[in-house]
Structure 1
Amino acid sequence: MNTATDTTTAAEHAHTTAWIASVLRARIAAGQLTPGSKLSEQALSESLGVSRNTLRQAFATLAGESIVTRIPNRGVFVAAPGAEEVREIYRVRRTIEPSAVLWGRPTPAQLDAMDAIIRKAKAARDAGSVRDMANANQAFHEAVVSLTGSELLRELMDKVLAEMRLVFHAMSAAPDFHTHYVDRNAALVEQLRAGENERAAADLRAYLDAAEAELLGHLEGEAPNR
């Protein structure tokens, strides 16, 4: 028995599983995989060049993150988060994002990058593109968490934003959901440029509270008709 070889193989397998999970997570976050869609083992294993067993382990990782759902005898499906999942998402976001704004010391380059995201969001709003506004919103909040300088928090936020993308699909009947957050994002950057971190953190907490309330109002209002 070659312990060194076995250890290397196990590490490579774990790396491949993590890579597959990150690819699928990114596709969900980009809106390429929508809630309720079935994930075909055969198609994905062929397109990604991995075994079905490795793919199943990646599915298990994503199921643990509530991004996919396994239904016995039917397969694996992209999850459709409900009200409790939204509450959990915002518990995490309220813990991470205001702290990133409060304690972060953004460089001019980081602030310029956030301004560029806001310009894209405004262009999407003017064009009436809900998807592009959602993409810009996701990118903006990724940038907020990047202010922490923590790779672990960025990885956690990637998972949260992938689940958020699934929630956004539930808001398709409310296409103006993203529009009123564009200017709030712009105001946040202005506060950071002025060194008003405490004010920015407080406003961001209020922003997240408002977004959560709007999402819950929509989801819980729909529940009786589901």
Structure 2
Amino acid sequence: MTTAEDTTPTADADRDRPAGSAEYAHTAGWVASVLRARIAAGDLTPGTKLSEQTLSTSLGVSRNTLREAFSALAGESVITRIPNRGVFVASPGIEEVREIYRVRRAIEPAAVLWGELSAEALESMESIVQRALTARDDGAVADMADANQALHSSVVDLTGSSSLRVLMDRVLAEMRLVFHAMTSAPDFHAHFVERNVRLVERLRAGDRLAAAEGLRAYLDDAETELVRRIST
């Protein structure tokens, strides 16, 4: 069993602190955001045991603060508490996948339709899909997944909503846990890369309706495929 001792850096906790958040650091919310980011980055994988002693020391927080963060993450289905065993990074199942896609269908197509689409946002999206294409051609599955996630994060950023940004961060952390179960199926990410390219092309052309409809179909298909693969 992997543990947080194996995967959690013991470097200065300021490394994980968002810019301009000095007053937020070392609160339960900050700790939750750090752990969520590490899960979203793939540093903490499903089944990893989270050691209270190691994390409280490396993050410079009390165990009570850490436990508050664990409670928040458990409510998001990102971690699981097992009596008499400890706290573990979750392994999402079919219902968790369905809930992830319920949230994504409610947010992402709306962001595409009505979000603030600046020239800078489009350039960033084009750069991301180019990264995904390069990763696909190189057979770099993890980089492909990272780029695909980054694109959909950028889609939500079009809303300009910090609340939706936080919600999407939670969703992406859960998605990373789902993707961990797909490491034996590199083709899963590959055939969605071209669909992300088409999404950005439609946005560049100003056809937001087609972009939103294509994105909705993308999300439906991704959910169906993930559920099928997890079920087998």
TM-score higher than 0.5: yes
Report SS of the residue matched to 1:37.
coil
Aligned residue number for residue 183 of structure 2: 172
1:8-157 matches, within 5 Å, as 16-157=27-168
| Counterpart contact for 1:104–1:148, Cα < 8 Å | yes
Please name the residue that 1:4 is paired with: none
Larger helix percent = 1
Map 1:195-214; keep pairs closer than 5 Å. Answer: 195-214=206-225
Q: Which runs of 5+ in 2 are unaligned?
A: 1-22
Alpha-carbon distance in structure 2 between the residues aligned to 1:20 and 1:14: 8
Question: In structure 2, do the counterparts of structure 1 residues 120 and 14 end up closer, same or farther at CA, with 3 Å as the change threshold?
Answer: closer
Residue of 181, 198, 206 corresponding to 2:192 = 181
Report the TM-score, using the length of structure 1 for normalisation. 0.90
Shift of 1:164: 0.4
Equivalence for 1:8: none
AA partner of residue 231 (structure 2): E
Find the aligned partners of 1:104 and 1:180 in 2 and give their Cα distance.
Answer: 26
Give the match's secondary structure for 2:120: helix
Residue type matched to 2:92 in 1? Answer: P
Instruction: Structure 1 unaligned segments of length 5 or more: list them.
Output: 1-11, 222-226
Asked if the contact 2:78–2:174 (Cα under 8 Å) also holds between the matched residues in 1, the reply is yes
Identity of aligned residues (%): 69
Match of 2:204 in 1: 193
User: In the TM superposition, what whole-angstrom CA distance separates every residue of 1:117-138 from its partner, at most 9, and x where no partner exists?
Assistant: 1111111111111111111111
Structure 2 residue identity aligned to 1:194:
A
Question: Is the 1:121–1:132 contact (alpha carbons within 8 Å) kept by the matching residues of 2?
Answer: yes
Give yes or no for contact 1:13–1:54 (8 Å, CA) kept in 2: no
Bigger Cα Rg: 1
**3-state DSSP class of the match of 1:39?**
coil
Question: CA separation in 1, counterparts of 2:159 and 2:116?
Answer: 8
Count of matched residue positions in the alignment of Structure 1 and Structure 2: 210
Paired amino acid for 1:185: N
